[in-house]
Amino acid sequence: MSFFSVDGPLYRFISRFWDMIKLNFLWLLCSLPIVTMGASTTAAFSITLKMVDEQEGYIAKDFFKAFKSNLKQGSMMGILFLIAIVALWLDFQFFNLLDTNPVIFLIMGFVGIFIFTLTFLYAFPLLARYQNSIINTMKNSFDISIRYFVRTLLLIFVLIFEVLICMWNEWTLIVGVLIGPACIFLTISGFALRFFRELEKEAQT
């Protein structure tokens, strides 16, 4: 097999890189109204879960199909996600603004970050793969995070590493703008799909 052939590693790399750029652009475009960010994120995960499985088709067509089918639930999930971020931000703002710097706000903030991360880390890929209510999806995300806690910690460290790499210099920042969010979605999907399949096998036995 030639290195430069259609089946070669160079062609596959360029093809996957281009798919990531397209997915990233579509996610950014459909997230612009802010309220649709959750639906856009769910649609992006529907693509990256297929990428992990080597089953992706037409990126744009599949993205918009998933976006439309998850518009209501995905948007509601996204709004809850944003509300949680604002609540955490306000907590740390209170800690900084109050003269006494009450440590209770600091503790609440870190506990909130912990619960927030475990609740939402797998929520959007779950929404992309399964039919369920928003509350149950968030609960299942938390349960999966606790069950696979060590691997979930590893995933978090990998995500932090990816963000730091994107912010390393001006050139990596450009790459981060082009494919950064899509890379994060793909990384989470790689971990999540393994967990989903393990749980699906258990449910069948």
The mean pLDDT values, 10 residues at a time, for the chain of 205 residues are 57 84 96 94 96 86 95 96 95 83 86 96 97 96 97 97 92 90 96 96 85
pTM value is 0.91
Distance CA 87, CA 76 (A): 17
Cβ atoms 51, 19 nearer than 8 A: yes
pLDDT of residue 153: 97
| Interior/surface letters 77-108, b for 16+ CB within 10 angstroms, e for the rest | bbebbeebeeebeebbebbeeeeeeeeebeeb
Q: Which ranges of the chain does DSSP label H, i.e. alpha helix?
A: 9-31, 37-52, 59-69, 71-97, 103-120, 123-129, 134-147, 149-166, 170-204
- Dist. CA 95–CA 110, nearest whole Å: 12
CA distance 168 to 166: 6
DSSP code, position 55 = -
Query: In this predicted structure, what is the pLDDT of residue 58?
Result: 86
pLDDT of 7 reads 60
pLDDT of residue 85: 96
